[in-house]
């Protein structure tokens, strides 16, 4: 019973904290990640995130429909992209149109600058073709609604909206949330895309058998997670072999 009383107020355990992005200069694009904020000649579609990240002379991200990757070169404030490879998934025409406009902006990019934390791509005439906001990549202070988990049988199972599986990370190494029936609490360490989840304790409430099975599978998937990636409003956690364990979307501050 003591464990249950200890956990009953788990919802109060975590408070959202502002996510900070380290100051950087154009010369240190490597290791940075960004979300498209403006695209010349286009009104950006709601709920369609366009992202890019720089790492080791490579760029990768999502154009809102397909994932892409390729090489880039940066000399001073002169930026150019090599051949960009992309997946070939078809999406609704408005999304495809925006994706093509984004690809064209990358092709026209000739220079780059930072303006009050905003990354700006310009063409050879110094006209802005796209601008980007920094992508928070830290788990600390973040709150998530779980959308899928690995059931331990090599399958990722979707979570219905009424299942109420949540995942929250505070800034002192605690994690917790709802596993669908019971609240849970544990510890974590995270650094440079790697995560280690400590022992997780749960409440003792009994729910329907299928709900308890989902809860058990979710918590096991959480324990197997060794890496994480945040892209726009989505979180993916994977095991050592790279298999997806947990997928989640960011919760707004006012989400109950």
pLDDT, tens digit (0-9, with 9 covering 90-100), for 154-167? 899 999 877 789 99
**CATH number of the 26-134 domain:** 2.40.128.270
Q: Is-contact 62 42, C-beta < 8 A? A: no
Question: Sorting pLDDT into bands at 50, 70 and 90, what band is 253?
Answer: low
Average pLDDT on 65-88 reads 93
Burial (CB count <10 Å: 0-12, 13-18, 19+), residue 171: middle
* The two domains 2-17+137-250 and 26-134 share their CATH topology (first three levels equal): yes
pLDDT in tens, 97-133: 999 999 999 999 999 999 999 999 999 999 999 999 9
pTM: 0.71
Within 13 Å and on the Cβ side, how many CA atoms surround 113?
Answer: 8
Strands 174-178 and 194-197: unpaired
- The token duo for 127 is 């006209």
- The token duo for 158 is 């979707």
Domain boundaries, the chain: 2-17+137-250, 26-134
pLDDT of residue 22: 37
Phi, psi of 48 (to 5 degrees): -125, 100
**CATH number of the 2-17+137-250 domain:** 2.40.128.270
């Amino acid at each position: 019973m003591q464990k249950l009383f200890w956990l009953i107020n788990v919802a109060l355990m975590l408070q959202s904290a502002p996510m900070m992005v380290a100051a950087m200069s154009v010369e240190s694009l490597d290791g940075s990640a960004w979300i498209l904020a403006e695209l010349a000649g286009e009104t950006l579609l709601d709920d369609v995130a366009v992202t890019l990240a720089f790492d080791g002379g490579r760029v990768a991200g999502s154009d809102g429909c397909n994932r892409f990757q390729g090489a880039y070169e940066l000399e001073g404030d002169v930026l150019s992209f090599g051949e960009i490879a992309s997946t070939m998934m078809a999406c609704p025409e408005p999304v495809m149109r925006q994706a093509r406009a984004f690809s064209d902006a990358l092709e026209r990019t000739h220079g780059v600058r930072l303006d009050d934390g905003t990354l700006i791509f310009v063409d050879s005439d110094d006209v802005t073709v796209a601008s980007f906001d920094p992508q928070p990549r830290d788990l600390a202070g973040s709150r998530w609604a779980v959308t899928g988990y690995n059931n331990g049988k090599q399958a990722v199972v979707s979570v219905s909206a009424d299942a109420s599986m949540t995942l929250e990370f505070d800034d002192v190494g605690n994690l917790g949330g709802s596993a669908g029936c019971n609240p849970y609490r544990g510890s974590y360490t995270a650094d440079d895309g790697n995560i280690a989840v400590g022992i997780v304790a749960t409440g003792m409430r009994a729910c329907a058998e299928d709900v308890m099975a989902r809860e058990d599978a979710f918590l096991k998937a959480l324990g197997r997670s060794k890496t994480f990636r945040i892209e726009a409003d989505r979180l993916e956690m994977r095991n050592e072999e790279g298999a997806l364990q947990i997928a989640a979307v960011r919760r707004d501050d006012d989400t109950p």
